[in-house]
Amino acid sequence: MKKWIKITLSIAGGIVLLTCAGGYYVYKNYFPKEPERIVYDKDRVLKPIHNQLKGINIDNVKIKEKEVVNATVNELQKMIDDGKLSYEELTSIYLFRIQEHDQNGISLNAVTEINPNAMEEARKLDKERSSNKKSNLYGMPVIVKDNVQTEKVMPTSAGTYVLKDWIADEDATIVKKLKEEGAFVLGKANMSEWANYLSFTMPSGYSGKKGQNLNPYGPITFDTSGSSSGSATVVAADFAPLAIGTETTGSIVAPATQQSVVGLRPSLGMVSRSGIIPLAETLDTAGPMARTVKDAATLLNVMVSYDEKDAMTEKMKDKERIDYTKDLSIDGLKGKKIGVLFSIDRQDENRKDVAEKIRKDLQDAGAILTDDIQLNDGGVDNLQTLEYEFKHNVNDYLAQQKNVPVKSLEEIIAFNKKDSNRRIKYGQTLIEGSEKSAITKDEFEKIVRSSQENARKELDRYLVEKGLDALVMINNEEVLLSAVAGYPELAVPAGYDNNGEPVGAVFVGKQFSEKKLFNIGYAYEQQSKNRRSPKL
């Protein structure tokens, strides 16, 4: 989420730094700090892994690990169909990798919780496979962001210290949908605390609950981006084949591009948010993250649904079910008109080669490019939306929960102040601002309505009036408009800059055009073959 706040304050801060002695104050209080290696409470992850790997032949795990790393969902299912692997063995491999690389070794710190019953659930799925397998998700371990409720076995915290041990009494709707297909939750992913809405100075990937999540392509060196930082890391580092992230403004596609994975922000209203700790309900959504476009599409198939608990999904009530994996083809870009939102000349020198390759890969796949598109985000505001909604959404959410240790944002702020060095290492200026906000409901509704209309009008100038099939940007440079409009964004790995830092191409389409976006993204992925796994 924080990208747009950073841009606004970078400009303001730069002016202040040049013109007055207050510049240091701005830098100190409004610019993200450099990430540090901070891992809190390792035992909450290691203990349930240790308990479940007792008696497991680790030599066998290491042998089969080589076949599992970087495998797609289809490839994993084929290994199981052929008797070369079981769901129990698959689960043990991921648990072992989390133990070795996430909480030890390189210490990526992407995982906050482990399902203590994961191996038991995998064994049960092995036994029932012949009669109960419904889809390719059957038996697949999925890691969900730590703001997604999982009933009775794992805490749900939004990365906060105050909720680090709180366990919800009901699964989020999307978790229920996963279980209906025979998938199961392996664990929870670290995240930028409060979905990156805690403090201007907090680095992406940091949470008071678990500490600093690191980018597997360059720990400390490269930003994880956020707020779904851990969800990106767990699939990039092969701690799970699939993950679920959430996005308000850029929080799925930004970490996806930064960590060389695929991430989809679905159209607003496609996926239920019931059972997800909110940031701003007029913007929030959940989406799939995976190593390939097809795997992300496989996960979205299950996530899409109408839910009476989320009024925004009313749009899905009478919509025909779509298989987003069907008809994916390397020819998906042939004749497609793609609007290019970046200029090679304006790229950092380290990234120019990647920018040129994105253009070449698109053209080689048959796309027709339209250049020199300059989006105008005037009249589009998400900062006041966040300031107003966060307080009201969090208070409403807490009021509906049982056994929660706090019942309001005011109580959270007071709790944090009692041990600020541990609970809010980087401060809590953003949530304090939300608590004190003087924005009225009428003002908020006017801002939301106007911003959404302006964002859709600007995107539709190209996607409707000029007949473009999609727009493409580098990383998350232009996501404000699509996020506010509620339009889908698909991030696909695009390569690496001269320093080895991942770069992604993000495609934006019209509302509910996910099928077309997946076709475009798949063709681009197959043409470019850009992704490589990190060295752990």
Q: Between β-strands 285-290 and 262-265, what pairing exists: parallel, antiparallel or unpaired?
A: antiparallel
Q: Is 227 a catalytic residue?
A: yes
Among candidate residues 227, 228, 229, 513, the one labeled active-site is 227
Identify the active-site residue in 145, 294, 336, 425: 145
Q: Give SS3 for 382.
A: coil
The residue assigned the tokens 């999609």 is 470
Q: Environment class of residue 414 by beta-carbon count within 10 Å: exposed (0-12), middle (13-18) or buried (19+)?
A: exposed
Question: Does an H or E element contain 212, and which?
Answer: strand 211-212
Instruction: Please state the three-class secondary structure of 348-393 as a single string.
Output: CHHHHHHHHHHHHHHHHCCCEEECCCCCCCCCCCCHHHHHHHHHHH
Q: DSSP class of residue 344?
A: G
Token look-up 């541990």 returns: 422
Where would I find the beta strands (DSSP E) of 17-162?
Answer: 111-114, 141-145
The closest of 463, 511, 484, 265 to 379, measured between CA atoms, is 484
Structure tokens, 250:
């850029």
Which amino acid would we find at residue 295?
Answer: D
Whole-angstrom distance, CA of residue 245 vs CA of residue 242:
10
Among residues 57, 50, 113, which one has the least CA distance to residue 239? Answer: 113
Provide the residue type at 508 as one letter: V
Beta carbons within 8 Å of 362's beta carbon, 6+ residues apart: 333, 338, 369, 472, 524, 527
- CB neighbour list of residue 471: distance below 8 Å, 6 or more residues apart: 338, 339, 340, 341, 373, 459, 462, 463, 478, 507, 508, 509
Helix (H) or strand (E) holding 495: strand 489-496
Give the Cα separation of 109 and 190 in Å (integer): 7
Kindly list the distances between the CA atom of residue 199 and the CA atoms of 195, 231, 426, 498, in Å, as whole numbers in the listed order.
11, 21, 6, 31
Q: Which amino acid, one-letter code, is at 165?
A: D
**Exposed / middle / buried, residue 214 (Cβ in 10 Å: 0-12, 13-18, 19+):** buried
Active site residue 145: yes
Residues 6+ apart with CB under 8 A from 459: 375, 471, 481, 482, 485, 487, 508, 510
* In contact, 150 and 171? CB cutoff 8 Å: yes
Rounded Cα distance, 515 and 513, in Å:
6
For the record, the structure tokens of 189 come out as: 């992913």
Residues contacting residue 513 through CB under 8 Å, at least 6 positions apart: 267, 470, 487, 488
Pick the closest to residue 144 from 3, 270, 299 (CA basis): 299
Catalytic residue among 107, 204, 225, 251: 251
Hey, which residues are catalytic here? 145, 227, 251
